[in-house]
């Protein structure tokens, strides 16, 4: 069904824009929350909501449209000529795993430790507990790794380098 390919590619690239645009904004929102502790809980909840409603569903749709493109165009993705695609799929699965199973639980921990879904008004009572600092540094570290993985995946998908093996 090669006639489906351009439509799938359109949905694939559109979803990449929608899903990954916000991921470049999360570090900025996070650092503002760090500088203004009275708003840290709200900033984290806002990023978490964007993650749940936009980033994760559209990121997961990339696998569906990607697999459908492979099927519709009969792309031999195990062939040496398509090493870029196989590598991109592996990096994508690593990124999805880090986002869903490492970053997301730590974001939920930060929300819980900063007053939950309805925190009392005003600044937090004292300095952030060590557990919060650990969760924040984990989210920051994974956030940077995800941005690098994303840039590498887009490079592979657009440039389609020939690795020669
Ligand atoms: C972070 C995730 C991903 C991003 C940002 C991404 C991005 C892109 C972009 C920008 C293109 C258009 C390239 C061009 O036409 O020059 C593309 C094409 C493609 N992507 Fe992805 N993609 C992702 C994940 C996936 C996954 C998981 C699969 C497979 C399961 C996949 C399969 C494909 C295929 C088959 C094409 C068409 C390649 C061709 O024109 O021959 N992508 N992707």
Residue 42 lies in a domain: yes
Report how many domains make up the chain. 1
The answer to whether residue 129 sits within a structural domain is: no
Q: How many CA atoms lie within 13 A of 155 on its CB side?
A: 10
pLDDT band at 165 (very low <50, low <70, confident <90, very high): confident
Q: What is the mean pLDDT of residues 74-91?
A: 96
With a cut of 90, say whether residue 124 has pLDDT above it.
Answer: no
- pLDDT, residue 6, reads 98
User: 12 CB under 6 A from ligand 1?
Assistant: yes
Over residues 23-77, the pLDDT tens digits come to 999 999 999 999 999 999 999 999 999 999 999 999 999 999 999 999 999 999 9
**Which of 157, 159, 160, 162 is the best mutation target for the ligand 1 pocket, counting ligand atoms within 8 Å of the beta carbon and taking the most?**
157
Domain housing 22: 2-121+139-159
pLDDT score, position 119:
86
Residue 8, domain member (yes or no): yes
Report the nearest-CA residue for atom 43 of ligand 1.
157
> Is 126 a member of any domain?
no
Long-range pairs for 91-94 at CB < 8 Å and ≥24 separation? 91/149, 91/152, 91/153, 91/156, 92/62, 92/63, 92/149, 92/153, 94/149
pTM recorded for the entire structure: 0.92
44 lies in a domain?
yes
Per-residue model confidence (pLDDT) at position 123: 79
Phi-psi region at 90: left, alpha or beta (left = phi > 0; alpha = psi -120 to 50):
alpha
- The reply to whether 43 falls in a domain is yes
Residue 131: HSE in the Cβ half-sphere, 13 Å Cα cutoff? 10
In a domain, 132, yes or no: no
Average pLDDT over the chain, rounded to an integer:
95
The answer to whether the CB of 20 falls within 8 A of the CB of 150 is yes
Tokens 């986002």 belong to 99
Ligand 1, atom 11: nearest CA belongs to which residue? 157
- What percent helix, strand, coil does the chain show, rounded to 5? 80, 0, 20
- Helices 5-20 and 56-73: crossing angle in degrees, nearest 10, is 160
Q: What confidence tens digit (pLDDT) does each residue in 138-158 have? A: 999 999 999 999 999 999 999
Residue of 1, 6, 10, 12 best suited for mutating to test ligand 1, as the one with most atoms within 8 Å of CB: 12
Please give the pLDDT value at position 40.
93
Asked if residue 63 has its Cβ within 6 Å of ligand 1, the reply is yes
- Per residue in 3-29, pLDDT (tens digit) is 999 999 999 999 999 999 999 999 999
Residue 32 resides in a domain = yes
Please indicate whether residue 83, judged by its CB atom, sits closer than 6 Å to ligand 1: no
């Amino acid at each position: 069904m090669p006639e489906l390919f351009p439509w799938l590619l359109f949905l694939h690239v559109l979803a990449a824009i929608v899903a990954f645009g916000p991921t470049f904004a999360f570090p900025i929102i996070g650092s503002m929350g760090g500088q203004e502790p009275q708003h840290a809980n709200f900033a984290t909840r806002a990023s978490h909501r964007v993650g749940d409603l936009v980033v994760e569903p559209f990121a997961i749709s990339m696998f569906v449209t990607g697999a459908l493109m492979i099927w519709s165009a009969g792309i031999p993705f195990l062939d040496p000529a398509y090493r870029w695609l196989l590598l991109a799929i592996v990096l994508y699965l690593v990124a999805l795993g880090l986002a869903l199973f490492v970053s997301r639980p730590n974001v939920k921990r930060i929300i819980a430790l900063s007053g939950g879904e309805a925190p009392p008004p005003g600044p937090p009572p004292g300095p952030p507990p060590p557990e919060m600092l650990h969760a924040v540094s984990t989210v920051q570290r994974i956030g940077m790794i995800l941005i690098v993985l994303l840039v590498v995946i887009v490079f592979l998908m657009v440039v389609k380098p020939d690795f020669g093996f």
